Structure 1
Amino acid sequence: MSDSAENIPAPPQKRNRMPWIVTAAAAIVAFLYFTPGLFVAYTEDAYVRSDFVEVAPEVAGVVDRVDIADNQKVDVGTALAGIDPQPFKLAVDLSQKRIDGAQSAANVKQDEARTLAAELDSAQAAVTLAQKEYDRAAALVKDQSVSQAAMDRAVDDRQKALDEVAKQEAKVRVNAGEVAAALAEVDVAKAELALAQYNLSRTNLVAPVPGYVTNLSLRPGAYAKAGVPIVGLVDDTQWRVVANFKEYVASRLEPGMRAWVWLDSHPWRLFPARVTGIGRGISRDETAGRLLPYVAPTTDWIRLSRRMQVTLVLDPKPDIPLFMGADARVLLFP
């Protein structure tokens, strides 16, 4: 009986297939994760964007009227708001009065210049006459027809005439400087008037672009500061979609590529689009005031993946309302 037990073959040992199963599963997951990216570019990190125009007054003052309502559509040149023009009208009137005063002062100096010019002509004529008397006296002295005293008087008269000419010429030079200064004051006053008129024209704020008024809180009586925005407009002509693609995907995209865009504001529809640009840089620091955009990295698995901005336009532009900041999804086949 013991011999028969020894002759019974041992059962075969079962192989451990778990490592193979895990390896196969990892290979399948890796294939599904990496392979589609070679043929399909897709991102849910996209949004609708346009230009947001902040309208700021060029002059400071009290807002006396608001011509628009929140969310109103406006065209180029549509009146938005107005600043009380009365102080600026007074500045224009004051500048005009300054011009009148400066012009009057310049006219007085110019009249004085003409008077001095006439006096200079008279003085020069007196010099000519005195020179003739001097020449005559000198000739008579040689002939001993007149006394030396007469000759001395002729010399004195000629010198006085010459001194008078020099005096008048000095007055003319001084007056010429005064005329130039007066005319310069007129020019300055005219420039001040032009500036006052320009400031008056800036009391009316108009829309620089067609679009929609957004988040309006302006009311009459508010004080507007120069250079501080008081009205915001969403430009209705600059709609685009900004999609953040992983860097290895963005590197394979080119302007002109066709794409499909899903808009969360209009779900269950795919809109044709076209790539217009691929951003060449992002900021790695979330710091305000930088010209480079900051794109928050994703947290797929462990390694944080950087994303580059890709700009697309809907082509053709659909006849639907678009909303700045609305979510979108983008699909491409690079």
Structure 2
Amino acid sequence: MKQKKLPLKNIGGLTILIWLLLACGALGVIVLNRLHQRPRTEDAYLAANIIHFAPEVSGRIASLAVRDNQHVRRGQTLFVIDSEPYNYRLQKAQAQVDSLQSQIDEQISQVNSQIFHADAENSSVSSANARLTQAQATQARLEPLMRQGFVTREAFDQARTDTYTAVADLQRAQQSALSARRAVHSVAPLRADLAAAQAVLRQAQRDMRLTTVTAPCDGIVTDMTTAAGEYASPGSPVFTLIDDESWWVIANFRETQLSVLKPGQAVKVYVMAKPDTPIHGIIDSLNAGVVPDEGMSSSGLPKVPRTLNWVRIAQRFPVRILLRDPPKDLMRIGATVVVAISE
């Protein structure tokens, strides 16, 4: 029985089909390898720092210089709190400082006078001490002469009397000098009171300065529901300020892709509002972990699912990407973007 031979035409078509399949397989491998080396994700969004703007001092808002969704510059006045009560506190603190300073100046003048008097009394002690020394020396010199009859008894008694008098004068001078030293008042307590008053003054000056609230950075005012006349309290936000000086992207990559991602890698970002305009950025950091869906404790007990998932889906981890000179008109927190690793 003879075997039928395939026509040459069919053999050529089969060969072409095989080559096409091989080419598609090779192309698929190349594409998969490229996607692994340069992954991309559509699970990403724009982000920026936000400041829940709350005043540091309380009071009624005297004037509100911005409106909702307005762009503001660093140092621009946002709102002003009624400064009248803080001005009174500042004046009171300044008056207290001035009063204590005057008391210190007067006290220093008195102290100088008291020190001069104490120095004079110390000089009197030195003089009395010198007179006592001289009287004792005279008495000691006359005593042997009196025994030998060269000096009268009256002369020796006078010398001894002079010694007793010099001792009494020295004691009086020492007591006066001690009293003069004790009379010298220290200005240390007043200086301590002045330091405390100056601290109160600086606090009053700071509170007065903080009644004018300025923008700490370039930003966009949002979520404003307050008007002039509202009472503002420390820690209670008046509105939110979006920091417009730096923007980044939070891109969620699969855990199988993290091995090829490194800080400093170049990235291209495409905002969904304008997908034909690439925005350049670099990887800043990779997140260290996320909360798993399973295995977490709930009320102190482990949480275990009732069913098993036979298909395991790779977990995604946030990657922080800093943008370089992004177009301001496209920057909105939460906007959807596509991220592609470019190197």
In the TM superposition, residue 149 of structure 1 has moved relative to its aligned partner by: 4.6
Q: Using the alignment, how far apart are the partners of 1:118 and 1:107 within structure 2? A: 17
Map of 2:16 onto structure 1: none
Map of 1:269 onto structure 2: 276
Closer, same or farther: CA 89–301 of 1 in aligned 2, 3 Å: farther
Q: 3-state SS of the aligned residue for 2:237?
A: coil
1:159 aligns with 2:157: no
Map of 2:332 onto structure 1: 323
Deviations 1:175-199, CA, capped at 9 Å, x for gaps = 2xx3122223223322322222122
Q: Using the alignment, how far apart are the partners of 1:306 and 1:120 within structure 2? A: 87
Contact 1:88/1:199 (<8 A) preserved: yes
Closer, same or farther: CA 326–32 of 1 in aligned 2, 3 Å: farther
In the TM superposition, residue 248 of structure 1 has moved relative to its aligned partner by: 0.5
Q: Which runs of structure 2 are paired with 1:162-177 in the superposition (5 Å)?
A: 162-172=174-184, 175=185
Closer, same or farther: CA 247–155 of 1 in aligned 2, 3 Å: same
Map of 1:194 onto structure 2: 202
**Structure 1: runs of 5+ lacking an equivalent:** 1-30, 288-299
Q: Using the alignment, how far apart are the partners of 2:265 and 2:190 within structure 1? A: 68
Map of 1:279 onto structure 2: 286
In the TM superposition, residue 123 of structure 1 has moved relative to its aligned partner by: 1.6
Map of 1:211 onto structure 2: 219
Map of 2:120 onto structure 1: 122
Deviations 1:26-80, CA, capped at 9 Å, x for gaps = xxxxx99999554323422111112213333222333222110000011111110
Give the TM-score normalised by structure 2. Answer: 0.72
* Number of aligned residues: 287
Q: 3-state SS of the aligned residue for 2:66?
A: coil
In the TM superposition, residue 136 of structure 1 has moved relative to its aligned partner by: 5.3
Contact 1:278/1:308 (<8 A) preserved: no
Q: Using the alignment, how far apart are the partners of 2:189 and 2:168 within structure 1? A: 38
Closer, same or farther: CA 185–248 of 1 in aligned 2, 3 Å: same
Q: Using the alignment, how far apart are the partners of 1:117 and 1:314 within structure 2? A: 72
Map of 1:312 onto structure 2: 321
Q: Using the alignment, how far apart are the partners of 2:54 and 2:28 within structure 1? A: 50
Q: Using the alignment, how far apart are the partners of 1:256 and 1:164 within structure 2? A: 82
Map of 1:20 onto structure 2: none
Contact 1:81/1:205 (<8 A) preserved: yes
In the TM superposition, residue 202 of structure 1 has moved relative to its aligned partner by: 1.3
In the TM superposition, residue 108 of structure 1 has moved relative to its aligned partner by: 2.9
Give the letter aligned to residue 169 of structure 1.
R
Closer, same or farther: CA 130–57 of 1 in aligned 2, 3 Å: same
Map of 1:296 onto structure 2: none
In the TM superposition, residue 151 of structure 1 has moved relative to its aligned partner by: 4.2
Q: Using the alignment, how far apart are the partners of 2:181 and 2:340 within structure 1? A: 89
In the TM superposition, residue 325 of structure 1 has moved relative to its aligned partner by: 0.7
Q: Aligned to 1:184, which of 171, 189, 192? A: 192
Closer, same or farther: CA 272–92 of 1 in aligned 2, 3 Å: closer
Map of 1:245 onto structure 2: 253
In the TM superposition, residue 122 of structure 1 has moved relative to its aligned partner by: 2.7
Q: Which runs of structure 2 are paired with 1:1-334 in the superposition (5 Å)?
A: 37-40=32-35, 41-135=39-133, 137-138=135-136, 139=138, 142=142, 144-145=154-155, 147=158, 148-172=160-184, 175=185, 178-255=186-263, 257=265, 259-266=267-274, 268-284=275-291, 302-313=311-322, 317-318=326-327, 320-332=329-341
Q: Using the alignment, how far apart are the partners of 2:68 and 2:41 within structure 1? A: 33
Q: Using the alignment, how far apart are the partners of 2:71 and 2:254 within structure 1? A: 37
Deviations 1:116-145, CA, capped at 9 Å, x for gaps = 212213322332443454455542693542
Closer, same or farther: CA 34–209 of 1 in aligned 2, 3 Å: farther
Contact 1:260/1:270 (<8 A) preserved: no
Give the TM-score normalised by structure 1. Answer: 0.74
Q: CA-atom RMSD, angstroms?
A: 3.2
Closer, same or farther: CA 259–136 of 1 in aligned 2, 3 Å: closer
Q: Using the alignment, how far apart are the partners of 1:254 and 1:165 within structure 2? A: 82
In the TM superposition, residue 105 of structure 1 has moved relative to its aligned partner by: 2.1
Map of 2:13 onto structure 1: none
